[in-house]
Structure 1
Amino acid sequence: MTTNTATHTGITRWLGIAAILVILDQITKIAITSTFVYGESLPITPFFNLVLVYNKGAAFSFLATETGWQRHFFTAVGIGASVFIIYLLKKNPGERLLSWALALILGGAIGNVIDRVLYGHVIDFLDLYIGNRHWPAFNIADSAICIGAVLFVYDELRRGKKPASST
């Protein structure tokens, strides 16, 4: 019974972090869409703009020019990934680095699924660039997914290292 309580408490913390990310992501998207018109850009620094753009595809606008089927596909992928991540969080609540990675990915996935369901596209507004070369615009959810993925890979590499044999 103690294990169940510990598992419940552990997953609640990680789901709370994911929920905070979803809220932050959605608040920033609401703020940008109520302040900017589509395509509008505001220079902030010599390497960063705020811009309002829509992405009907996935990362780096992958499949963005397709006929619309990708909205449903990426929504289903996001929901499926979220369910699997919750399963992994339930299974590994004490694994801090792994749980951080999963919570970040979960929050980002849900944030972008909300956009796809409500608007048919993901709202992007962060524009990093050097000279005339722009990174594809992104949002808080995308950032969380990327940071979570890096943490996940680092955690897996760290787990894969075995101590040297003493023989």
Structure 2
Amino acid sequence: MKHRAFALGLPVLAVVFILDQWTKQIAIDALSDPARYIKVTPFMNFVLAWNPGVSFGLFQGQAPWVMIIGTAAITIGFLVWMWRTRDRVLGIALAMVVGGAVGNLVDRLRHGAVTDFIDLHVAGYHWPVFNVADTGITIGAALLLIDSLFGGKKTSR
């Protein structure tokens, strides 16, 4: 079946997106009024942060429509790639990236910035605050990299 990877990827995409939006709403409700943080472990807090940029706060000075159009264009490209591939691992990896990208895109459209809330830290150093969508994008990108390095010779058509 030609689009088996796409059919397998769609539920993964949906889970990443739904889990992302659900956890972001919980974070907004729990952390915004009054503003506070919740210590979860000695190395992790939940704290509400709004990111108008992309990963790690890059490109914060860009106009919001540039971020929205750029994200939408990349997402469409990845969806086409996901549709065309027959490789299941590649389909799942692309679905994770797209699910996360759509989750963050919805935030930009609703709030003008991405909702971040997971704060990892060690020895006074804090990793940039992130969310479930960012985790999906990162895991998906890692799978893409691993597949490209060790997946062997494959065709996308």
TM-score by length of 1: 0.85
Q: Structure 2 counterpart of 1:117, which letter?
A: L
Q: Find the residue that maps to 1:18 and give its secondary structure.
A: helix
1:43 equivalent in structure 2:
39
The answer to whether structure 1 residue 79 and structure 2 residue 75 are counterparts is no
Is the 2:52–2:112 Cα contact (8 Å) retained in structure 1?
yes
Distance in 2 of aligned mates of 1:109 and 1:119: 15
RMSD: 1.7
1:80-99 to structure 2, matched below 5 A, reads 80-92=73-85, 94-99=86-91
Q: For residues 101 and 13 of structure 1, what CA distance do their matches in structure 2 show? A: 11
Q: Which runs of no fewer than 5 residues in structure 1 stay unpaired? A: 1-5, 162-167
C-alpha separation in 2, matches of 1:74 and 1:7: 33
Residue of structure 2 equivalent to 1:106: 98
Report how far residue 8 of structure 1 moved: 4.4
Are the equivalent residues in 1 in contact too, given 2:4–2:88 (CA < 8 A)? no
Deviation at residue 12 of structure 1 after TM alignment: 2.6
1:17-32 correspondence to structure 2 within 5 Å: 17-32=12-27
2:32 partner SS? coil
Q: 1:12 to 1:159 in 2, by over 3 A?
A: closer
Deviation larger for 37-46 or 140-149: 37-46
Structure possessing the higher relative contact order (Cα contacts under 8 Å, 6 or more residues apart): 2
Change (3 A) 1:97 1:9: closer
Please list every run of at least 4 consecutive aligned residues from structure 1 whose deviation after the TM superposition is greater than 6 angstroms. none
Structure 2 unaligned blocks of 5 or more? none
Q: 1:145 aligns with which of 128, 137, 140?
A: 137
Q: Normalising by structure 2, report the TM-score.
A: 0.90
1:36 partner letter: L
Q: Distance in 1 between matches of 2:71 and 2:2?
A: 24
Q: 1:89-131, CA deviations, whole angstroms, 9 ceiling, x for partnerless residues?
A: 1111x31221111011010000000000111000000000002
Aligned equivalents of 1:159, 1:45: Cα separation in 2? 37
Task: Identify which of 119, 122, 132 aligns with 2:114.
Answer: 122
Letter in 1 for 2:75: S
